[in-house]
Amino acid sequence: NAGVTQTPKFRVLKTGQSMTLLCAQDMNHEYMYWYRQDPGMGLRLIHYSVGEGTTAKGEVPDGYNVSRLKKQNFLLGLESAAPSQTSVYFCASSSGTGRETQYFGPGTRLLVL
């Protein structure tokens, strides 16, 4: 049982390049989330999903897209990376029962030059 895993762990992009971050969970969770963490700002919600085939915007969705084609996977895409997207990205999942704990992945550190 690996919990929540994220790929890649670290990536450097040039402005304008695109990339996809992959999150996978093996706990059969319905809810999945993408957060970004910036110094002094805690974690902020980018997008989330309440089930396979559904996605919704969080607090800071601009510049990102997501897809949840399979229940266990949640992809975060950057179509045209900008320096402001330099951050650490965390994926999380939960069962969605209402009193659930969110389980976090180890994070992806992204640097956009």
Strands laid side by side in the 4-7 sheet: 4-7, 19-25, 73-78, 65-67
Q: Should residue 61 be labelled a site residue for another protein when binding is judged by CB under 8 A?
A: no
Shortest distance, CB of residue 100 to another protein, whole angstroms? Answer: 7
Q: Give the three-state DSSP class for 85.
A: helix
Choices 13-21, 50-58, 63-71, 74-82 (CB under 8 A): range interacting with another protein: 50-58
Q: Should residue 1 be labelled a site residue for another protein when binding is judged by CB under 8 A?
A: no
Sequence-distant (6+) residues with CB within 8 A of 34 are 21, 23, 45, 46, 47, 48, 58, 64, 66, 74, 76, 89, 90, 91
Pick from 43, 52, 61, 86 the residue near another protein by CB under 8 A.
43
Choices 19-27, 30-38, 62-70, 73-81 (CB under 8 A): range interacting with another protein: 30-38
CB nearer another protein, residue 63 or residue 104: 104
Residues 83, 104 contacting (CB under 8 angstroms): no
- Phi, psi (deg, nearest 5) at residue 33: -140, 150
Site mask for another protein (CB under 8 A), range 80-99, x = bound: ----------x---x-x-xx
Residues 105, 75 contacting (CB under 8 angstroms): no
Choices 21-29, 31-39, 62-70, 78-86 (CB under 8 A): range interacting with another protein: 31-39
